[in-house]
Structure 1
Amino acid sequence: MKKIKRNGFATMNNDTIEIILEDESVVFSYHDIKNYTLSFNQNIALVLEFKNENSVSIVSSSSFCETSKFELFCREFECEILKRFSEEPIKKENPTKFFEKKWFRAFLVILTLSFGILLVIAIATGTKISSAFFIALSAVITLWVRYSSFKKE
């Protein structure tokens, strides 16, 4: 999927939202939204998934453009969603962090065991252990430290 830089604007009315990106326009009702994801990092991202299985994804990057207006729109959008659906909320999906992925712990265990086996073999055979091995091992240790600090949160 090719990302194309486009200018656009959005309006929120009583029942609908209209997002216009140069040659493309999307109009939808608040009730059409099945779930949404908002991310406020260096990039501001809004992903809307609709009940008809279509989706819209818009990202504003501070590297390429001014993000303050899009950030304001996203915050207003979220306030409006929370107001409208306070009794039966729309599902908000939080972006999955790298350390939250289910396979990450298994990956770390397998990686650590591999390094342990290589170290035992190198010591048993008397092979000289290169500095690249220790650099890679320090990266694995760093991943474990980050993973454990993330789990404590």
Structure 2
Amino acid sequence: MAITIYHDFQVFQDISGTLNKIDFENFFLPKEDIYSHYIKPYLVPNPFILNGIKFSSPCCLFTTYDMHKNHSLLFLEKNGLIDFPSITNGVILTFESLLNSLVKVTSISGETLTTTICKDHDPVLLGFISSNGIKRIEFIESPAFISSMLFTISS
């Protein structure tokens, strides 16, 4: 079964069903460090595992705060990866401050889909569903700032 790509949140939600949310709002910060997060990035463990999802970058992972949009972002470098547990059927991400980028998605069965994210709009919404399950998302040509991620798992 092929990997299907989505740019419309409502269509993605209608097809995928119940969604689990991950956002990066001060998630990695001790309460006493929230103010410093406005000024400088905050390094997080690399790799970092949250709800069974592994975020990793070649050098480092960090969160930063976008004062103009009033929320936190997770930064993954070029060749950064997001690995999903085998029960993940779909994922939709919100990208911000993104350069044009090549994104490669791999299903559990080894199928791949490569797509270009063009920096025409901010934020960029990009979702993927596969009945075989989503295994990995890789950011090939540029880094990515992710403000939120929703995913669906099989029951």
TM-score scaled by length of structure 1: 0.24
More strand by share: 2
When normalised by structure 2's length, the TM-score is 0.24
The answer to which structure, 1 or 2, has the higher relative contact order (CA under 8 A, 6+ apart) is 2
Structure with more helix by fraction = 1
